[in-house]
Structure 1
Amino acid sequence: MPAPRCIADYRELARARLHPELWHYLDDGRDTPCGRANRAAFDAAPLMPRPLTDVRGGHTRVELFGEWLAHPMLLAPLAYQRLYHPDGEQASAMAANAQDGQMVISSLASQPFDAIVRAAERAPWFQLYWQGSREATHRLLDRAIAAGIRAVMFTVDAPVKQTALALPAQVGAVNLDAPARPVAIGDGQSQVFDGWMAQAPTWDDLAWLRDRTKLPLLLKGVLHPDDAMQAVQRGCDGLVVSNHGGRVLAGAPASLSLLPTIVSAVGPGVPVLLDSGIDSGSDVHRALAAGARAVLIGRPCIWGLAGNGALGVAHVIRLLRDELEQSMALCGHATLAAIAGRSG
């Protein structure tokens, strides 16, 4: 297969190199009603050309919680990255750093937190999954903080795991405690309501978590404006509008379609990021135009990882950034603030 020249090439390269079962796991959600809604929402969002605008000196820099990044595309917290390449999360960390960007480490990372942080050469963000209890969640958070993370992204939109994958012996979630015993279910009780959801976080747990760390805290998995406002009222510093890439609730609305409502609900002082369905730099542009401060890139970066390790991930980021810059220039936007109609 020729060397990849665009993001679609990396997708085909990853499909060719990965075992069909693993490819299905990675691609799961793209062809659900939710996944198709994500794609349709981006395709329906217009980009208005504005020729003759002077965009010399333009750039894609963005500031998030006191950190300046060269572009607004963070690597999303995808699990078990050693499934796709032996260098795993360390390769993604090196690529993010090489492109002067940022990554979010998954709770289900397949390499130790401190090894990923060393590879990143800057303090990454950390995606926290609830561990069934406050005690276990606190232990996991402490491990990530000790490794040197700079922000916590609490993911709450996938309390019930729906996609199972048999992991090879050499790949696992190496930073987690041993699995806790399942909740015992009595006669007449529901496996979902009384079993799985008995270990899911609540608003009180979010307030507890806010008290456990002074790091910036973002809530990931928000689609309803009332939830967004309640998260901010309980101390969250930012939000991530996400439907988990279409992988959890098949009938959930497209993330992009809810983004403006949530941005309006919480106001300009709260950074709102977008996740789910971004495949191109023009998609990034559309998300920023709808009010996102930055976006999370998931599958495309894993396509790059599977295709060519750290170099593949770095190339995907660069391709996305090039596409974003081209889209901005054609629309007369010299800065990200100009896209959103903000000054500065």
Structure 2
Amino acid sequence: MTPTELHERAQAALSPEVYDFFAGGAGDEISLNDNCRAWSRHPVASRVLRGPPESERSIELLGLPLAHPIGIAPIAYQGLLHPEAEAAMARGAAATGALNIVSTRASLSLEEVAAAAPEAPRWFQVYVLRDRELTGELARRAAESGYRALVLTGDTPVLGRKERDARNGFRIPEDHARGNLRGGLRHAPESAQDPGASLDDIGWLHELSGLPVLVKGVLRADDARCCIEAGAAGLIVSNHGGRQLDGAVSTAEALPEVVAAAAAEVPVLVDGGIDSGADVGRALTCGADAVLIGRLAAWALAAGGAEAVTELLQRLCEELP
């Protein structure tokens, strides 16, 4: 299936409210839409007469070998998309050797996701919660369950207002499993994050877990340098898919600045608006070490479970220039 077909099938399979939860963005959805448009506007100046093309797609990130440079971004509440939730996503990604980043707000526990694809390369996304004890517990559990890195989301001190959800009166169903947080949240989910999270938390999470910590949500060169100097092992250029701060710069525009600031000291990944292998290629030519897909992977999961996720990743790899 093409990405358009996946999107259409997913929309048909989901209730309008659930579809809007995953499809929607913050505010007027300017950043959401600009993410996609910005990649298509990005010109590529190809090289000529350089000998045989490089056919090897495998890469290594922080000592983790990967079959190709396309991974799955953290996606919350995948049980709303498919009955097998994150287990199906993990199996679908594992079939191609793709990196899978598991969300703190997963429908299944991080241990259940690890068990679904034990040998698969995986990282764990973490928020700094108001409940620091719970945050530390999640970091330690990830290390014990074979996750190879932590991804600290830094762009969501508070949740953005999503007009679609407000219009629909949508809330995550109370009976929906929150695998990693079940019974553990002392605050409502919408206010669970600590707005006072700081650069010091990079080192704190590393000390607790022994894992490298990447920072997700970096859009500026000065932030990139501050994160690296605070001990970040990698950076992920992201505006949270346009879901938190409307008007944020597109990731295609931010990527070159962050890559230059990183100066090859740490790997730089990017997500946001990636809809094709051509978009992946554009991101790689701008200096990204790897590319993450979010909504596109969500549509694949909703449209056809693990098999559709595998098919999507294979298609994107085949489309790479």
How big is the alpha-carbon RMSD for the aligned residues of Structure 1 and Structure 2?
2.1
Find the counterpart in structure 1 of residue 180 from structure 2.
175
The 2-side partners of 1:173 and 1:22 are apart by 16
Name the SS of the counterpart of 1:16 in structure 2. Answer: helix
> d(CA) in 1 for partners of 2:118 and 2:134?
28
Residue 41 (structure 1) shift: 1.5
Gaps of at least 5 residues in structure 1 are: 183-191, 328-344
Q: Secondary structure at the match of 2:91?
A: helix
Do the aligned residues in 2 keep the contact of 1:69 with 1:100 (CA within 8 Å)? Answer: yes
**Distance verdict in 2 for CA 1:43–1:130, change over 3 Å:** same
Superposed CA deviations along residues 156-180 of structure 1, whole A, max 9, x for unmatched, are: 1112123464233542322115321
Q: Number of residue pairs matched?
A: 310
State yes or no: 1:33 paired with 2:38.
Answer: no
Matching residue of 1:305: 301
Equivalent residue letter for 2:180: N
C-alpha displacement at 1:149, in angstroms?
Answer: 0.9
Change (3 A) 1:306 1:198: closer
Q: What is the CA deviation profile of residues 77-122 of structure 1, one whole-angstrom value per residue up to 9, with x for unaligned ones?
A: 1001011100110011101110111100000010121121121222
CA–CA separation in structure 2 for the residues paired with 1:142 and 1:312: 32
1:130 Cα shift? 1.4
Same amino acid, percent of matched pairs: 39
Deviation at 1:40, TM superposition (A): 2.4
Gaps of 5+ in 2: none
Q: How does 1:223-234 map to 2 (within 5 A)?
A: 223-234=219-230
Q: Secondary structure at the match of 2:217?
A: strand
Code of the residue aligned with 1:180 in structure 2: it is: R
Written as runs of structure 1 = structure 2, the 5 A alignment for 1:257-296 is: 257-296=253-292
Q: Give CA-to-partner distance per residue, 1:43-80, whole Å, 9 cap, x none.
A: 11123456766435612111111122111111011001
The yes-or-no answer on 1:11 pairing with 2:7 is yes
Conserved 8 A contact 2:90-2:116: yes
Question: Given the superposition, is the C-alpha separation of residues 46 and 198 from structure 1 closer, same or farther in structure 2, using an over 3 Å criterion?
Answer: closer
TM-score (norm 2): 0.90
Amino acid at match of 1:309: G
Which is further off, 293-302 or 135-144?
135-144
* Contact 1:133/1:199 (8 A) holds in 2: no
The 1:206/1:7 distance shift into structure 2, 3 A limit, reads same
Match in the other structure for 2:129: 131
Structure 1 residue 124, shift from structure 2 partner: 1.2
Q: 5 Å matches for 1:42-53?
A: 42-48=39-45
Q: Which residue does the alignment assign to 1:140?
A: 138
The 2-side partners of 1:68 and 1:202 are apart by: 30
After superposition, the Cα gap between the structure-2 partners of 1:202 and 1:104, relative to the gap in structure 1 and judged at 3 Å, is same
Please say if residues 134 and 205 of structure 1, whose CA atoms lie closer than 8 Å, have aligned partners that are also in contact.
no
Question: What TM-score, normalized to structure 1?
Answer: 0.84
Runs of 4+ off more than 3 Å: 48-57, 195-200
1:206 maps to: 202
Alpha-carbon distance in structure 2 between the residues aligned to 1:174 and 1:196: 15
